[in-house]
Structure 1
Amino acid sequence: MMLLALISILPVCLCVDLVYYVQERKSPRTYVGDIAADTHSMDNLQLKDHKMITFSHLKQGTSGTSQFFRVSKETGKIYTTQTIDAESLCSRNVECFEMMDVAVRKGTSFIKLLEIKIIIQDVNDHQPEFLQKQVHIEFEEDVVKGTKVLIPNAIDKDVGMLNSKITYQLKKIIKEPFSLFVSKSVDGTSQLAINLEERLDRETKDSYKIQVIAKDGGSPSKQSILDVHILVTDVNDNFPVFSQNVYNVSIYSDYDPKEPVVILTATDLDLGKNGEIVYQLSTKTKQLAQTHFKINEKTGQIFLQKKFESGQKSTYTLYVKATDKGDLPLSSLAIVVVNVINQQNNIPKIEVNYVFSSSEDVTSISEDIEVSSFIAYVKVTDHDVGQNGEIHCDLHHDKFQLQRLGPKKYKVTVKNQLDRETEDHHDIIINCQDKGSPPLHSEKKFSVQVTDVNDVQPQFPKETFKFLMYENQESKHHVGSINATDPDLGPGGKLTYSLITHSKHFLPFKITDYGFISTTTSLDHELQKVYKFQVIVQDNGIPPLNNTVNIIVEVRDKNDNAPYFIFPSINPFTMDIVYYPHHTNNVTVLKASDIDSRENAFLRYDITAGNEKQLFTINHYTGLLSFTRVLNQQDSGTYELEFLVKDSGSPVQSAKTVIFLTLTVSNKTSEMLNAVHIKTEDKIHLNLVVIITLASVTLSVIITASLSICILRCCHRRRSTPHIGGGNPTERCVSEQRHLMCPSYQGNTWIDVMSSKGSDPDGDRNFHLEDSRRGSPQGHEFDNRQRGTMSALKPHSSNEMPQQIIIREVSQSPCSERYKKNTMISPDYSIWRPTRSPHPDNGHNWKEADRDHCHREDLPGM
Structure 2
Amino acid sequence: MIYFDRDGEVRRLLLSLLLLAAWEAGSSQVRYSVPEEAKHGTFVGRIAQDLGLELAELVPRLFRMASKGGGDLLEVNLQNGILFVNSRIDREELCGRSLECSIHLEVIVERPLQVFHVEVEVKDINDNPPVFPGTQKTLFMAESRPLDSRFPLEGASDADIGVNALLSYKLSSSEFFFLDVQTNDELSQALSLVLRKSLDREETAEINLLLVATDGGKPELTGTVQLLIKVLDVNDNEPTFDQSVYKVQLLENIANGTLVIKLNSSDADEGSNSEIAYSFSGDVSPNIKTKFKIDPGSGEIRTQGQLDYEETKSYEIQVIAYDHGNPSMSGHCKISVKLVDINDNTPEVSITSLSLPIREDAELGTVIALMKVSDLDSGVNGEVTCTLTHHVPFKLVSTFKNYYSLVLDGTLDRESVASYELVVSARDGGSPSLWATARVSVEVGDVNDNAPVFAQPEYTVFVKENNAPGCHIFTVSARDADAQENARVAYSLVERRVGERALSSYVSVHAESGQVFALQPLDREELELLQFRVSARDAGAPPLGSNVTLQVFVLDENDNAPALLPPQRVARWVGAGQVVAKVRAVDADSGYNAWLSYELQEAAAPGGARSAFRVGLYTGEISTTRALDEADAARQRLLVLVKDHGEPALTATATVLLWLEDGGAAPKASSRLVVGPAAAAEAALVDVHVYLVVAICAVSSLLVLTLLVYTALRCSAPRGEGACVPGPARLVCSSAVGSWSSSPRRRRQRVCSGEGPPKADLMAFSPSLPQGPGSAEERQLSEAEQLGKVSLKFFSILNICYLLCLNDSPGNLHMPRSGPRKGKNTKKKKKKKKKAFIFTCLCNH
After TM superposition, the score normalised by the length of structure 2 is 0.39
Report the structure, 1 or 2, having the larger strand content.
1
TM-score between the two structures when normalised by the length of structure 1: 0.38
